[in-house]
Structure 1
Amino acid sequence: MTIIWIIILVYMLGMIGIGFYAKTKIKDSSDYHLAGRRLGPVMLAGTLAATEIGGGSSVGVASKAYGEWGLSAGWYVVSAGIAIILVSFIAPYMRRALATTVPEVIGRRYGKSSQLIASILSLIASSALTAVQITATASIVHVLTGFDVKWAIIISGAVVVFYTFLGGMWSVTLTDFVQFFIIVIGFAIAVPFAFSNAGGVEHVMNQLPKEQLGFTKIGWTTIIGFIVLYFMTFSTGQEAVQRYYSARDEKTAIWGSVMCGVLMSLYAFIPAVLGLIGLATFPNIDENSALATVSTELLPPAIAGILLSGVISATLSSASGNLLAVASVYIKDVHSSIFKKELKDEAELTASRWIVIITGMGAIGISLFSQQIIPLLVFAFTIRSTGPFAAYLLGLLVDKVTKNAGLLSIIIGTAIGIIWEYLENPYGIMAVIVGSVASLITFLIVNKIELKRGVPIAPSPYVDK
């Protein structure tokens, strides 16, 4: 355990050092929120992948493989990889917008009311997603140290707030790039060692219920639902879209997205396999502790240290991206609506850092109250995506749209998505699908009626004429 802790400490100090370095590159709020729009394709792919391969795609997948989903938990990440490849088709339009936030684009086309509603949804979702990553980090800290879970949450939350406060998007991007490749290599090396120390592949398989090895146990409806959910959340979620906005140019946005999708798909089933090894070897532990327990009990200390360092840093980095998303949306979309006054650049940078602190404290509170991982992820994705989905994408891609089409689609899509989630997804259809379809249908109907009536269209700075 001492070796593991030394490796983790050295690794984390290195990441904090990168954060201090990134702080020196921040000259204005654009650097803090968008890394100066200078990310190349490899850097973009790394930061996109590291953002999504956080708590849900590592600790969460391992826990679901240990629990109800078995091997098929890997589809959670494959679905994300497929979805982000699909996003590459609209990525150049995102970059062309030269925006900072999703609500900013919505506001330009549909007005202040639509912008404010989309902003509130984004703030709620990003805060919840921050809490998820704090929970995932705390579950590992709890196993390693024996700290009470609540104290582990408080410590993990405090670290991520400091980390984000320092360097903004530059800090997140540089650390993401390192973290993604370390976590993938660490997981890949871990599997053969874990199998060997658990008694071999055959022994592990014999200890598992047969249904846990079902490749599609999760069900095709759920798999397709996750693809739709992730396509929506990658194309409308602030922490993902903000990275496309940070790309050097439109081609970079496309190829960075494609590379990210391929890398995620290759990684997908590794944490699921480790979760199954955990179930076969330690059948009576808490499922959220499966990955950390396998790492500390079945892996050589050096490999365990590298793996857990990567997981801890990746989850903290995902939390950092979500904290930054909250700060960006508040500064760009909410502050001026409340105070009727734009901030100057220096004041904007200071306010952004204060928002990071306040949001971090709220996320710690959410994590203390609810220690779910994937269920809270799905809730957050549903909240932020179902309503704004049609308005945001069609606002980027279509010339003739009306303000009411955007506003009503956001309201109705969100309402139906929340109601469907509350009813616990009747007929096995995910709320995100029902809500997005309702949003799209509402948009198309209202837009067609208003165009026929001669209602003025919302000007578009995005669509090629």
Structure 2
Amino acid sequence: MAVNILGVIAVAVFYILILAIGVYAGRKTAKSGTTEELLIADRGLGLIVSFFTMTATMVGGAFINGTAEIIASSGIVWTQAPVGYCLSFIIGGLFFAPQMREAGYFTMFDPFQQKLGKYAGAVLCIPQFLSDLFWTAAVLAALGSTISIILDINQTLAIIISSCIAVFYTFLGGLWSVAYTDVIQLICIAVGLVTAVPFAMTHPAVDYTRINTTWKGEIQPTQIGSYFDIYCLLIFGGIPWQVYIQRCLACKTPQRARIASFVASIGCFLFAVPAACLGITAAATDWNQTTYGGDVPIPAKMMSYVLPLALQHLCPAPVAIIGLGAISAAVMSSADSSILSSASVFAMNIYKPMFRQQASDREISWVIRISVLVCGVLSTLVAMSARSVYGLYVLCSDLMYVIMFPQLICILYFKGTNAYGSITAFVVSFTLRIVGGESLLNLPALVHYPFYSPEHGQNFPFRTFAMITSLLIIVSLSKLTEMLFRKNLIPKKYDVFMCLRDNVRENGELNKSKTPRIFISFAMDDMSDAKRRPGFEET
């Protein structure tokens, strides 16, 4: 098959449009180039832009392609992401977004380092770094495969070009560029998919009677635990991500962060509808009657490409190209957000507090930009070389749920949280998740939880079990260690993580030379006053 020249031209025009908008938006930052503008758009995102960019944090390439894939292969009952992420935004808007915005943080990890110290807080950044890296690599790899299917061009070339464009405008404008390109990208997703749906659904090869008994899907009694586990992962695991919290922190007011989260929950669900329609249509298609020349029925390893296959073989060429633009937009909206997320956390929670506490605003701004380049290069290399990128991303997403969600709850709502409980919970929850295995990575299940089967793996909600265990460890061990130090059952001089406020007072001068001043202030004050302190602005 020859290269689709018209398609290549159309995609090139789309990429140029995105790049131009990203550069133009970056001029807002270029006026001063401050850290606050790069990271959180000078806390100036309006309601419309914040809604679009917040929705784009969930509605990415994996969301669009994954919705079509799951509904085509397993039925609507297993298409859990749209409902799960919708509820995730609602819960985030109620209990997390306004609180984080009111405190005036720069990143999601600021309160961790304020309360646990810079080293313990830095340890908790690890799952975020890995998740962002593999998430970006996964969506870039998916885009490369999609473009190679529809346009018949080299997959590696498509990955490199897409990554370079996303990195370039993110490097220039930070969150301003990412937010404004998200607006255009979501519009492209909506137009591309909605345009494709009627053409695909009315194709002569589509016969919906073929799926009369299968389109709903089925949950076996032994799968109830796993089904519940996945829903909890989607609902609660979607909250403790820097890409989401970063947009909450960029809203003008806490109330606007809450409203934007609620509106984004509706948008997230609506964007899944056309992808679901294309997935159902693909399942109802007799592929022998199309130009598709592969194995029929579509093998399991190809199900992740159901959406691009439906665009290519069930829609006219111009419509398929418009749909490809939608997928490209979805991937770009995910990649730029994740790259900026990792760069933000590295600059503000690793570089500044641990290496250069007196770094100027200009220096931190350049650290952010250099980090954007490094993260982009690493993600591109992983996307081109790793065979199980998606499996790595799934595992890291699980770790964000079992590790970071209970940590975030305790940091915001349990004032007795200390580093002893947090670090121990980190190790235990990580171990419990790893020993549960991961089939996508051929990682064996070292522990067979109740209802385990060799065919389906873990049917027990072991991720939620690990998350709850982590939550209990943080609370109980934090209380226990504080009691042991207060009663002098363990001498206070061994309180290396400074869990006692009076320990901080006694060793104040020593701590000032080793720990950011904001941490000293936080440890000496009552937790109820935290909302009055503007994150790292005191440092």
| TM-score calculated relative to the size of structure 2 | 0.78
What is the root-mean-square deviation in Å for CA atoms of aligned residues? 2.8
**1:275 aligned to 2:275?**
no
Read off the aligned partner of 1:244 and give its amino acid letter: C
Q: Deviations over 1:293-338 (max 9, x none)?
A: 2112222444333332122022112111100011011101111355
- Name 1:312's counterpart in structure 2: 328
Give the Å deviation of 1:142: 1.0
- Name 1:171's counterpart in structure 2: 177
SS in 2 for 1:99: coil
Give the Å deviation of 1:141: 1.4
Give the Å deviation of 1:130: 0.9
Q: Deviations over 1:275-301 (max 9, x none)?
A: 343342433472233211211222244
CA separation in 2, counterparts of 1:381 and 1:76?
Answer: 13
Give the Å deviation of 1:50: 1.2
After superposition, residues 12-31 of structure 1 pair within 5 angstroms as 12-26=15-29, 27=32, 28-31=34-37
- Name 1:259's counterpart in structure 2: 263
Give the Å deviation of 1:73: 4.8
Read off the aligned partner of 1:360 and give its amino acid letter: G
| Structure of larger gyration radius | 2
Whether contact under 8 Å (2:26, 2:169) holds in the other structure is no
SS in 2 for 1:386: helix
CA separation in 2, counterparts of 1:264 and 1:30?
Answer: 28
- Given candidates 491, 496, 500, the residue that maps to 1:456 is 500
**1:78 aligned to 2:103?**
no
Give the Å deviation of 1:180: 1.8
Residues 229/179 of structure 1: CA separation in 2 closer, same or farther (3 Å cut)? same
Whether contact under 8 Å (2:416, 2:475) holds in the other structure is no
Whether contact under 8 Å (1:60, 1:136) holds in the other structure is no
| TM-score calculated relative to the size of structure 1 | 0.90
Residues 42/215 of structure 1: CA separation in 2 closer, same or farther (3 Å cut)? farther
CA separation in 2, counterparts of 1:163 and 1:372?
Answer: 28
CA separation in 2, counterparts of 1:121 and 1:433?
Answer: 17
- Name 2:422's counterpart in structure 1: 406
After superposition, residues 398-437 of structure 1 pair within 5 angstroms as 398-421=414-437, 422-424=443-445, 426=449, 427-430=458-461, 432-437=463-468
Whether contact under 8 Å (2:86, 2:269) holds in the other structure is yes
Whether contact under 8 Å (1:3, 1:301) holds in the other structure is no
SS in 2 for 1:197: coil
Give the Å deviation of 1:18: 0.9
- Given candidates 190, 193, 196, the residue that maps to 1:190 is 196
- Name 1:93's counterpart in structure 2: 99
Moved more, 358-367 or 394-403: 394-403
- Number of equivalent positions: 461
CA separation in 1, counterparts of 2:219 and 2:43?
Answer: 40
CA separation in 1, counterparts of 2:220 and 2:250?
Answer: 38
Gaps of 5+ in 2: 288-296, 438-442, 450-457, 487-498, 502-522, 534-539
SS in 1 for 2:265: helix
- Name 2:109's counterpart in structure 1: 103
**1:35 aligned to 2:41?**
yes
CA separation in 2, counterparts of 1:404 and 1:434?
Answer: 21
Whether contact under 8 Å (2:197, 2:274) holds in the other structure is yes
Q: Deviations over 1:39-80 (max 9, x none)?
A: 22332221121121112111222233444x233453222211
Read off the aligned partner of 1:386 and give its amino acid letter: V
Q: Deviations over 1:154-173 (max 9, x none)?
A: 33333332232232111111
CA separation in 2, counterparts of 1:38 and 1:220?
Answer: 44
- Name 1:46's counterpart in structure 2: 52
Moved more, 272-281 or 442-451: 272-281
Gaps of 5+ in 1: none
Read off the aligned partner of 2:127 and give its amino acid letter: L
Determine which structure has the larger helix proportion and give its number: 1
Moved more, 224-233 or 20-29: 224-233
Give the Å deviation of 1:268: 2.6
SS in 1 for 2:202: helix
Give the Å deviation of 1:97: 2.5
Name which structure has the greater RCO, CA cutoff 8 Å, separation 6+: 1
After superposition, residues 238-387 of structure 1 pair within 5 angstroms as 238-279=242-283, 280-282=285-287, 283-284=297-298, 286-336=302-352, 339-370=355-386, 372=388, 375-387=391-403
Residues 75/216 of structure 1: CA separation in 2 closer, same or farther (3 Å cut)? farther
CA separation in 2, counterparts of 1:72 and 1:2?
Answer: 40
Identical-pair percentage: 22
Q: Deviations over 1:428-462 (max 9, x none)?
A: 24554233112101012113324544463644343
